[in-house]
Structure formats: C-alpha cells, structure tokens
Amino acid sequence: MPSVTANPETKKQTEDQLAPLYNVVLLDDDEHTYEYVVEMLQKLFAFADGDAWNHAVEVDTTGRTVVLTCELPQAEFGRDQIHAFGADWRMPKSKGSMSATVEPCS
C-alpha cells in the first residue's frame, strides 16, 4: 500500500491554526486624558473614533481594556508601540506613555 504524506500547504495551515493568541491589554492610570487614549489607539491600531472612545471609557472604568488579539510577535510589537507613544501633552503631570501588558488569550 502506498504511504500517504501530508501536503505541505495543509501542514502549514494546521500550524497556523494552532498558533496561540495573545491579548495586548492597556492599563489605566491618572496621567492620560481620554483624548490621549483615543488619539493613541487611532494612530497605532487604526481604531475608528467610536471604538477608540469605547476603549478609553473601558480602561478608565475597569482599569484595563484589550486593544489587540494576535500572535505573540505582533502582540509584543503592539505593547512596545504603546510604551513608546510618549507623554500626554494635555496633562503636565504626565511623565510618559501608558502601560500595557501581553497576556495569553484564554
């Protein structure tokens, strides 16, 4: 009987489907305005006005909001972009960027 081998494309698709996903979680603080959060999410992640505003409200009221779910390298890049965005010029006490973490998606 001839042996059956997996098609390389099928194997690649299966591997892609099994890649674990991670959340980029934006964390609340008192050094950034809603406007800053909206502007940052629009510039970094191309959020629409309403979606960015909803995330700003969620991070303020619950202390965190998931802004991106993807594979680990992209999640780490997204977190790093948040960390590099800079201080909120609207608030003199703002000393730097907001905080974000990468967490496994459950």
Do the beta carbons of residue 64 and residue 26 sit within 8 Å? yes
Could you count the other beta carbons within 10 Å of the beta carbon of residue 6? Answer: 9
The domain segmentation of the chain, as residue ranges, is 20-104
According to DSSP, the residues that pair with 100 across neighbouring strands are 26
At residue 76, the 3 state secondary structure works out as: helix
- Residue range 20-104 forms a domain whose CATH class is alpha beta
Q: Which of 52, 30, 29 is nearest to 41 (CA)?
A: 52
For residue range 38-86, list pLDDT tens digits in order.
999 999 999 999 999 999 999 999 999 999 999 999 999 999 999 999 9
Average predicted confidence (pLDDT) for the chain: 91
Instruction: Residue count of the chain, please give it.
Output: 106
Give the pLDDT confidence score for residue 7 in this predicted structure.
63
Give the pLDDT confidence score for residue 18 in this predicted structure.
79
